[in-house]
Structure 1
């Protein structure tokens, strides 16, 4: 078969076929009387082998080695190709995010684009000081895109830089909420923790509150705790079970007790909070847990909480009884005052 016919049937250009011949990859085994290349069925099969290997990303040099060297094993090369493709995809994803960030900044001219690129370079610097400086700087001629700052918040490991980024996000006036909400659904627990801290510090609103309520079901206690404390401060009673659990576990229990007390400003919630703490007392025999629950109860208004503490003054555990008695007396003194 002559080169033109081979090109039509294989889809490989005549120019590339000649290049294969020059490299020794596929040399036609025959020549016509006029000196034209003539390919045998075996030559054509080799062309398809070359094209198949090239489709995996192999260079022509690697293809030649794979076809000629009997001792050449594919595993190492394929592993290298996988790593190379993964690195390329990571670069492409980074470029895509950068382009999206520029698009979100609604640039009106190339100076705007350059300012956004400079900001992105600062936020992705290996230097924590430079990242913090980029977060705190107010760019000339425009606001920092909120989505850019939200993504930076989710990725930031340094607590000082993270604080600067959250401040910059709040100051941006944009809506970084969707990006932060997506962070709460991340498989990476550290990303979820950063997201909930950022959302908790945002201005109150139905969307942010709904996301925090969803976070109460997170498997990580730190995420649940941040969400519960923020919701308690917003007067959301859905946080009560999580706050009581924090007291039981001794995890930011003082803050949780204060949040429960704040919720009790609503008379309708006070009975619910008191009942939840009393139920927790009935479910736990450990003295340390019971003492923490007593300390939370004594902060609550109302007769039910006061009577619950007084009853515990007769607890079978001496340490629990002593704490309950002392706190009941203090509570009585406060009430008299």
Structure 2
């Protein structure tokens, strides 16, 4: 067997090794010397890899291959029943940054019941969205205001803020929502957009006080 093929087999075996350090080195090797034959295995491994550092290296390795090859395959993963396959594919698409993937970022993914999938979809969406579609994206993201705990809410606020001033009509409307959690999150997001240095914890606590007093962002 030629040395090149031997190295390929060794790397492919390394990606499935029980030792995470071996898998990490294998993913690094694959990314260092990109080869189209690795793409399917990299994507397959992303769906099941338990170690965060290895997943990040797998994503990096995929970004080192041609987007003409990787993007269609990653889009296919967005239909997987496995949540990790969807979230990791979204994460990788956000790193590749090829806007041909934008039509695949569906409302279903942006509102996915799995928190990690939704968060990855938010991050990918703000990277890939065409400028003309930013207001519509802001509207979909705003339906998720009030969702989850602090880390989840911070992720959504960051995604909305990345879109800039285009979010203001939607977020301002949400500050009058019947649900106090939605109002709090909307007010905090609006304040962070105005003053990014304030920090999310400060913004959300301030928003809580405003809502408790029956006010809105304009009154705060």
Q: TM-score range by the shorter chain?
A: 0.7 to 0.9
1:26 — aligned with what? none
**Paired residue for 2:159, among 225, 250, 259?**
259
Structure 2: 5+ residue stretches without partners: 195-206
Relative to structure 1, is the Cα distance of residues 282 and 169 closer, same or farther in structure 2, using a 3 angstrom cutoff? Answer: same
User: What TM-score do the two structures reach when normalised by structure 2?
Assistant: 0.72
1:210 — aligned with what? 103
**Paired residue for 1:241, among 139, 161, 170?**
139
Name the CA distance, whole Å, in 1 between partners of 2:86 and 2:66: 22
Name the CA distance, whole Å, in 2 between partners of 1:221 and 1:127: 28
Name the CA distance, whole Å, in 2 between partners of 1:138 and 1:222: 26
Residues 1:112 and 2:10 aligned together? no
Name the CA distance, whole Å, in 1 between partners of 2:190 and 2:16: 47
Name the CA distance, whole Å, in 1 between partners of 2:50 and 2:218: 42
After superposition, what is the alpha-carbon deviation per residue over 1:108-145, rounded to whole angstroms, capped at 9, x for unaligned?
Answer: x73332221111111111111111111112589x5333
After superposition, what is the alpha-carbon deviation per residue over 1:218-244, rounded to whole angstroms, capped at 9, x for unaligned?
Answer: 443432332123222445524313422
Relative to structure 1, is the Cα distance of residues 220 and 199 closer, same or farther in structure 2, using a 3 angstrom cutoff? Answer: same
Name the CA distance, whole Å, in 2 between partners of 1:317 and 1:217: 28
Relative to structure 1, is the Cα distance of residues 226 and 139 closer, same or farther in structure 2, using a 3 angstrom cutoff? Answer: closer
1:280 — aligned with what? 174
Residues 1:154 and 2:54 aligned together? no
Structure 1: 5+ residue stretches without partners: 1-108, 302-311, 329-337
Compute the RMSD of aligned alpha carbons: 3.1
Instruction: Choose between structure 1 and 2: higher helix proportion.
Output: 2
Residues 1:143 and 2:41 aligned together? no
Q: What SS is found at the alignment partner of 1:160?
A: helix
Residues 1:133 and 2:33 aligned together? no
Residues 1:176 and 2:70 aligned together? yes
Q: Which of the pair has more CA radius of gyration? A: 1
Name the CA distance, whole Å, in 2 between partners of 1:322 and 1:218: 29
Query: Any conservation in 2 of the 1:151–1:180 contact (CA below 8 Å)?
Result: no
Relative to structure 1, is the Cα distance of residues 316 and 323 closer, same or farther in structure 2, using a 3 angstrom cutoff? Answer: closer
Query: Any conservation in 1 of the 2:171–2:190 contact (CA below 8 Å)?
Result: yes
* Structure having greater relative contact order (Cα 8 Å, sep ≥ 6): 2
1:56 — aligned with what? none
Name the CA distance, whole Å, in 1 between partners of 2:123 and 2:186: 17
Size of the aligned set, in residue pairs, is 196
After superposition, what is the alpha-carbon deviation per residue over 1:76-97, rounded to whole angstroms, capped at 9, x for unaligned?
Answer: xxxxxxxxxxxxxxxxxxxxxx
1:224 — aligned with what? 118
Per-residue deviation, 1:261? 2.9
Name the CA distance, whole Å, in 2 between partners of 1:275 and 1:185: 32
Query: Any conservation in 1 of the 2:71–2:101 contact (CA below 8 Å)?
Result: yes
Relative to structure 1, is the Cα distance of residues 188 and 250 closer, same or farther in structure 2, using a 3 angstrom cutoff? Answer: closer
